[in-house]
Amino acid sequence: MKDDENENKKDKFKIHTLEYLPINEKKMEKFKTEMANDVKLQQLKQVVLDGWPDTRAECQEAVKPYWNYRDEIGYYDGYVTKNKRLIVPDSLRPDMLKKLHNTHMGLEKTKQRARDILFWPGIKTDITELITSWGVCNQFKNNQQREPLLQHGIPDRPWQKVGTDLFELDRQNYIVIVDYFSKFFEVAKLTSTKSTSVIKKLKEIFSRYGIPEEVMSDNFRARNSGNSQ
């Protein structure tokens, strides 16, 4: 029974890391190898397994930067983690910084992406130094102005104009429909996200409330031409 629980935890760990990290399974194995060869992380791993000392001063120098996060640090299946984030070995940090900045999302969004998946002491400073020293980003940063907010007009009556979108919760797909006039909304579970499944669910909802004149979805507008099919 204990072996089954461990396998289940291992599967959940792999699902999380492989789904959200910008690296494939082969490179995850590279991560594990580099962690095993990283002296600092091996010292940290041992502290996690043996228990933290009473004071920061009693820690080895390599472990001291992690003292403030000691309640969040764990070890599982060859990986040292901070909550669900992988702690990156020294040898892989330059490559991970490059991957984080590959899309040139800007400073704050790059930091947010890192907060979701990776950690090492000083990661925010390293990201800031990378982006502020990147010539292309500095050249265009003042030109990246926000687009003005374009508001929708209020319809004349309920269910004249609706908005719809898909979302996922606990690995189950849903569709939400919102009436622009009343703000009334309805959420329905989907069997799949294929267009046939989405259309079928929309038809069920429209059969109860009527067919709207406009349906907005991801800035795509569909107008009802009068055909009720």
Q: Which domains does the chain have, with CATH numbers?
A: 2-138 (1.10.340.70), 161-223 (3.30.420.10)
- Look at residue 5 in the predicted model and tell me its pLDDT: 53
pTM, to two decimals: 0.50
Q: Walk along the chain (229 residues) and give the pLDDT tens digit of each residue.
A: 445 555 555 555 454 554 555 556 777 888 889 999 999 999 999 999 999 999 999 999 999 999 999 999 988 888 898 887 889 999 988 888 877 766 556 667 777 777 778 889 988 888 788 777 664 455 555 555 566 777 778 889 999 999 999 999 988 999 999 999 999 999 999 998 898 999 999 999 999 999 999 998 875 566 665 544 4
- Look at residue 60 in the predicted model and tell me its pLDDT: 94
Phi-psi region of 172 (alpha: psi -120 to 50; beta: other; left: phi over 0): beta
- Look at residue 105 in the predicted model and tell me its pLDDT: 60
